[in-house]
């Protein structure tokens, strides 16, 4: 029987399509894998960059070591609002900008070291009315413990204890003891007290030279504003060499100007550097100002403390025996001189040091911008070769570097001549 020939097998079209689809799926999978890997790699790099940026920001925050608690402490017990925004604190319209304190500086540790050295001083002032009847007024301020050659005393402002009776000193522990004013100098607003207290209460703070200060240095004030015991505030040295007028006829020389918030009750407290050393004694504010506080420099205390404790007073302030005003452009034009800086002598005290040196006061009075000014006197532009820009510079130099009986050389402008005038300083009367 004849077997019919077999037809060759044909591959079906659907099978071929299936194979092609499998190949396409594989290719797509490979491409998808590589595309996903590339995208993930880029995303990972972005995340690494963000982490690096955050690490840098965190490190900067650690370096700045801003202690916000210091700012919050200022509102303790008062109805005030503190708002934090963009690294700036808005505190009842007053802006506190974060300070970079540097490494190894902790404001909390600084406060712990000095808080027991700061005291509250309370007293009663006796007054008489026009009918001779007595009445009393309470006063309150701050002070700090100072070790004077082994003797513990309290340093404060003169105006805190002036004309007071029944003075007491309270330590941070709350213990209070009777105190006695043993020395004072009202011309620089300093006073020293002795306190009848156990030795365990006295924790003296170190006093450093204020000569090391520069404008921009960070300073800390600790005191008792409005009776809020042990309050701390932070600021900077905003100016040096200021003069501060007093009610006693003479200005306090070489005063420190600071932005550290000060209030009634801070008077007499310490102004500290970041080492916790006293570099000033807080003494005054400008009413209704923002960030204008003043402190007596620690150099004044160091210069006077021996006499204040041992003699009860200080009487070694140098004296020129003249009064004057700061020069400016308008005065220079009226006088016909080319110098617009310096100190114009208005009046010379008869038989005083300036009079003995031959210095001349003003000869005529003019009105400049509505203000009467006596012109025609000598213009002091330098002392011992140091430029005198005005009264602040002159008195700061005298207080810091001279003593009564010392001869100084004044450079003056008289008419159109520059003269050098030697002057022997007197003792402030």
Same domain? For 260 and 365 the reply is no
Chain Cα centroid distance, residue 375 = 36
Q: Find the catalytic residue in 159, 298, 332, 378.
A: 159
Is 15 within the bounds of a domain?
no
Known active-site residue 267: yes
Q: Find the catalytic residue in 267, 298, 332, 396.
A: 267
Known active-site residue 91: no
Is 278 in contact with 210 (CB distance < 8 Å)?
no
Same domain? For 118 and 213 the reply is yes
Same domain? For 258 and 147 the reply is yes
CATH code assigned at 208: 2.40.10.120
Q: pLDDT in tens for each of the 429 residues of the chain? A: 444 444 444 455 666 776 766 676 677 666 666 556 566 566 666 666 766 666 665 555 554 444 444 443 443 333 333 333 333 444 444 444 445 555 567 888 999 999 999 999 999 888 787 788 887 888 899 999 999 999 999 999 999 999 898 899 999 999 999 999 999 999 999 999 999 999 999 999 999 999 999 999 999 999 999 888 999 999 999 999 999 888 777 788 899 999 999 999 999 999 999 999 999 999 988 877 788 999 999 999 999 999 999 999 999 999 999 999 999 999 999 999 999 999 999 999 999 999 999 999 999 999 988 889 999 999 999 999 999 999 999 999 999 999 999 999 999 999 889 999 999 999 988
Domain span at residue 232 reads: 108-315
Q: What is the CA radius of gyration of the chain?
A: 36
Phi first, then psi, for residue 383 (nearest 5°) are: -135, 120
Cα 197 to Cα 145: distance, rounded to the nearest angstrom? 12
pLDDT tens string 194-250: 999 999 999 999 999 999 999 999 999 999 998 889 999 999 999 999 998 887 777
Cα 253 to Cα 261: distance, rounded to the nearest angstrom? 21
Same domain? For 148 and 258 the reply is yes
Same domain? For 282 and 135 the reply is yes
| Last-in-domain residue among 77, 107, 137 | 107
Is 283 within the bounds of a domain?
yes
* Residue 166 Ramachandran class (φ > 0 left, ψ -120 to 50 alpha, else beta): left
pTM of the predicted model, to two decimals? Answer: 0.72
pLDDT tens string 8-40: 444 556 667 767 666 766 776 666 665 565 665
| Last-in-domain residue among 47, 76, 107 | 107
| Last-in-domain residue among 298, 315, 332 | 315
Q: Find the catalytic residue in 91, 117, 189, 210.
A: 189
Is 186 within the bounds of a domain?
yes
- With CA atoms as reference, report the closest residue to 190 among 41, 81, 298: 298
Known active-site residue 214: no
């Amino acid at each position: 029987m004849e077997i019919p020939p077999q037809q060759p097998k044909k591959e079906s079209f659907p099978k071929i399509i299936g194979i092609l689809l499998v190949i396409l799926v594989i290719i797509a999978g490979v491409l998808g894998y590589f595309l996903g890997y590339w995208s993930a790699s880029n995303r990972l790099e972005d995340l690494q960059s963000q982490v690096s940026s955050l690490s840098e920001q965190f490190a900067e925050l650690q370096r700045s070591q801003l202690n916000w608690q210091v700012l919050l402490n200022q509102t303790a017990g008062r109805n005030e609002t503190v708002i934090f925004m963009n690294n700036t604190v808005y505190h009842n319209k007053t802006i506190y900008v974060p300070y970079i304190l540097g490494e190894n500086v902790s404001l909390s540790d600084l406060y712990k070291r000095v808080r027991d050295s700061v005291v509250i001083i309370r007293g009663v002032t006796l007054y008489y009315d026009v009918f001779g009847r007595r009445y009393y007024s309470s006063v309150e301020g701050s002070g700090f413990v100072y070790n004077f050659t082994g003797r513990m005393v309290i340093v404060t402002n003169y105006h805190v204890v002036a004309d007071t009776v029944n003075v007491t000193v309270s330590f941070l522990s709350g213990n209070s003891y009777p105190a006695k004013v043993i020395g004072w100098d009202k011309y620089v607003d300093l006073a020293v007290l002795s306190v009848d207290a156990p030795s365990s209460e006295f924790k003296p703070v170190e006093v450093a030279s204020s000569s090391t200060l520069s404008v921009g240095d960070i300073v800390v004030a600790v005191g008792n504003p409005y009776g809020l015991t042990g309050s701390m505030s932070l600021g900077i040295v905003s100016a040096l060499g200021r003069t501060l007028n007093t009610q006693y006829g003479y200005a306090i020389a070489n005063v420190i100007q600071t932005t550290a918030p000060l209030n009634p009750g801070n008077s007499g407290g310490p102004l500290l550097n970041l080492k916790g050393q006293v570099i000033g004694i807080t003494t005054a504010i400008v009413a209704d100002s923002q960030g204008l506080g003043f402190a007596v420099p620690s150099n004044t205390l160091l210069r006077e403390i021996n006499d204040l404790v041992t003699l009860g007073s200080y009487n070694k302030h140098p004296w020129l025996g003249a009064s004057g005003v700061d020069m400016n452009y308008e005065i220079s034009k009226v006088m016909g001189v080319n110098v617009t800086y310096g100190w114009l002598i208005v009046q010379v005290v008869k038989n005083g040091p300036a009079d003995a040196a031959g210095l001349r006061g003003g000869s005529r009075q003019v009105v400049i911008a509505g203000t009467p000014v006596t012109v025609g006197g000598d213009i002091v532009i330098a002392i011992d070769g140091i430029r005198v820009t005005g009264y602040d510079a002159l008195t700061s130099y005298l207080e810091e570097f001279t003593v009564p009986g010392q001869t100084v050389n004044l450079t003056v402008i008289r008419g159109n001549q520059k003269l050098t005038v030697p002057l022997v300083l007197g003792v402030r009367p």
